[in-house]
Amino acid sequence: MFKPPYSAPQQHGLQIRIRSGGHDYEGLSYVAEVPFVILDLLYLRNITVDIENRSAWVQAGATLGELYYMISRKSKTLGFPAGVCVTVCTGGHFSGGGYGFLMRKYGLASDNIIDAHIIDVNGNLLDRKAMGEDLFWAIRGGGGASFGVIVAWKVKLVPVPSTVTVFNVKRTLEENATEMIQKWQLVANKLDNRIFIRMDIARVKSSEKYGKLTIEASFVSMFLGGVEELLPLMQESFPELGLDRKDCSETSWVGSTVFTNGVLIGSTGHEDPEVALLNRTQIRAGKYKGKSDYVSKPIPLDGLEGLWRLLSDEEIEYVQLQFAPYGGIMDEISESETPFSHRSGYIFHIHYLVCWHEKGEEAEQRHMNWTRKLYKYMEPYASKSPRAAYLNYRDLDIGVNNEGYTNYTQASTWGVKYFKNNFKRLAMVKTKVDPHNLFRNEQSIPTLSDEEQYYLETI
Ligand SMILES: Cc1cc2nc3c(=O)[nH]c(=O)nc-3n(C[C@H](O)[C@H](O)[C@H](O)COP(=O)(O)OP(=O)(O)OC[C@H]3O[C@@H](n4cnc5c(N)ncnc54)[C@H](O)[C@@H]3O)c2cc1C
């Protein structure tokens, strides 16, 4: 059995950082301002797929690509709803939510977890029954790193048809992208829940205007069915896109995971699944800053036009806004079912990503400041009180804990943005399972004082 070495770090006052895939946006799994040790789960990669019971056990250090590949080796008609980037690991991803192209049909990865193994603060290995429903609730969206070391998850596999259809249709401003973006905002969350169309907006060189910069929207999609069924559905709901048969490719569900990962890494997306999904090398070589927003009403035309002006800033190397449609089953799951509270009422989620390769402090500050300017610009269009954020796109700008003790009110500055009212229950669970706050970082759930606990129990 894996027994974590908690006592030595405790004796020497070191923080414990837990790393599975190392994709944390702020590097909290492997960077700290204070002395720390890393518990690296890189080699816990075992995956056992049980087709008869439509489930799988997957260890924390296994990548999403490895999970998708192992499922596909056993079945062409089962899949799992999780993220797009195949080098992300299940340890961090499932514990923070985890969404991908099956979200509108089946929800998040964390909505499809049926058991887990965690090593608690006392070094005991606990399954769902032994940890109890409160802790099992907390680690499905509340982030594992506040509660213990997650060793493995048992997940429910979901039915997928043997043929799915994918496309990536790109339109620039000169090709009426603005009109399509406006229409996407009205329909993407209302489409048949088998269709997921993500809209990626970025600045590119225009092919029509001799290399001049323009804005391009990519409509990246996966449909759970064949092209014959997809075309009339799209013609009826989103004719402005002008989707044509030649834009579409039929493939298997696992083929669609290769395709969508290919859009992310800039490959053809038609590679052999074994090669594409089992490669564990992370693709982003440069630096990046990510942020997130949730939106309930379409961004009006003047808001979009202002955004195009902002994105035209050539001082910034690369910026992309990924719009992920909500609706479907996300409207049906209650806000308190798991700690992930961002459910009905939102029409889409925005992921902001700014990347640069330029070296030096000045370049870093310029890109960081510009990212914050973009986030400020988007404020009128985003959710309010709180301005909701996604834990898996961790952002320390929204608030951090103190180096020493952090009270519940202070931690709420960032906590309610990630979890809304679920933050209170997370703090209660944390206090019960880790009363001395062994598992802590810049955004770990706080341990409550007796007074805080009494107060929260009575309101
Ligand atoms: C290129 C890229 C693409 C992405 N695409 C998507 C996407 O499509 N959909 C989506 O939802 N998200 C996406 N993400 C975000 C991703 O889900 C999160 O960064 C996720 O937390 C990464 O998990 P990890 O195990 O790889 O990272 P890590 O850095 O190892 O972990 C992230 C956090 O979880 C904690 N943690 C990790 N393992 C454990 C464990 N075993 N027990 C307890 N705590 C643990 C860490 O301490 C850290 O706080 C993407 C990120 C990147 C960098």
- Position 241 scores a pLDDT of 97
Residue 273 C-alpha to ligand 1 middle, in angstroms? 22
* Burial track 59-69 (b if 16+ CB lie within 10 A, e otherwise): bbbbbbbbbbb
- Position 420 scores a pLDDT of 98
CB count, 10 Å around CB of 357? 10
Residue 99 C-alpha to ligand 1 middle, in angstroms? 11
Atom 1 of ligand 1: nearest residue by CA position: 85
Ligand 1 lined by 58 (C-beta under 6 Å): no
CATH classification (class only), 164-248+280-391: alpha beta
Ligand 1 lined by 150 (C-beta under 6 Å): yes
Ligand 1 lined by 96 (C-beta under 6 Å): yes
β-strands 36-40, 15-19 pairing: parallel
* CA dihedral sign of residues 415, 143, 129, 8: negative
Residues 98, 349: Cα–Cα separation, whole Å: 13
Atom 28 of ligand 1: nearest residue by CA position: 22
Sequence-ordered strand ranges (E) for 60-144: 78-79, 113-119, 125-126
Residue 339 C-alpha to ligand 1 middle, in angstroms? 16
Ligand 1 lined by 65 (C-beta under 6 Å): no
Question: Best of 17, 18, 94 to mutate for ligand 1, by most ligand atoms within 8 A of CB?
Answer: 18
Instruction: Per residue of the chain (459 residues), give pLDDT as tens.
Output: 455 667 777 778 889 999 999 999 999 999 999 999 999 999 999 999 999 999 999 999 999 999 999 999 999 999 999 999 999 999 999 999 999 999 999 999 999 999 999 999 999 999 999 999 999 999 999 999 999 999 999 999 999 999 999 999 999 999 999 999 999 999 999 999 999 999 999 999 776 666 688 999 999 999 999 999 999 999 999 999 999 999 999 999 999 999 999 999 888 888 899 889 999 887 667 899 999 999 999 999 999 999 999 999 889 999 999 999 999 999 999 999 999 999 999 999 999 999 999 999 999 999 999 999 999 999 999 999 999 999 999 999 999 999 889 999 999 999 999 999 999 999 999 999 999 999 999 999 999 999 999 999 888
Kind plus residue range of the DSSP H or E element containing 287: strand 287-295
Active-site residue, from 99, 106, 346, 393: 393
Ligand 1 lined by 41 (C-beta under 6 Å): yes
Is the separation of the CB atoms in 206 and 213 below 8 Å?
yes
Read off the amino acid at residue 6. Answer: Y
- Position 143 scores a pLDDT of 98
CB count, 10 Å around CB of 198? 25
β-strands 164-172, 248-251 pairing: antiparallel
For domain 7-159, say whether CATH 3.30.465.10 is its number. yes
Residues 435, 112: Cα–Cα separation, whole Å: 29
Residues 168, 221: Cα–Cα separation, whole Å: 6
Residue 235 C-alpha to ligand 1 middle, in angstroms? 37
CA of 156: how far to CAs of 48, 355, 444, in Å?
Answer: 12, 35, 28
Question: Best of 88, 89, 119 to mutate for ligand 1, by most ligand atoms within 8 A of CB?
Answer: 88
Where do the structural domains in the chain lie, given as residue ranges?
7-159, 164-248+280-391, 412-458
Taking the alpha carbons at both ends of the chain, their separation in whole angstroms is: 42
Ligand 1 lined by 262 (C-beta under 6 Å): no
Residue 355 C-alpha to ligand 1 middle, in angstroms? 18
Atom 3 of ligand 1: nearest residue by CA position: 85
- Position 209 scores a pLDDT of 60
Atom 33 of ligand 1: nearest residue by CA position: 92
Per DSSP, 63 falls in state: B
- Position 3 scores a pLDDT of 59
Reply yes or no on whether 393 is catalytic.
yes
Ligand 1 lined by 111 (C-beta under 6 Å): no
Residue 98 C-alpha to ligand 1 middle, in angstroms? 8
Residues 158, 3: Cα–Cα separation, whole Å: 33
Phi, psi of 237 (to 5 degrees): -100, -30
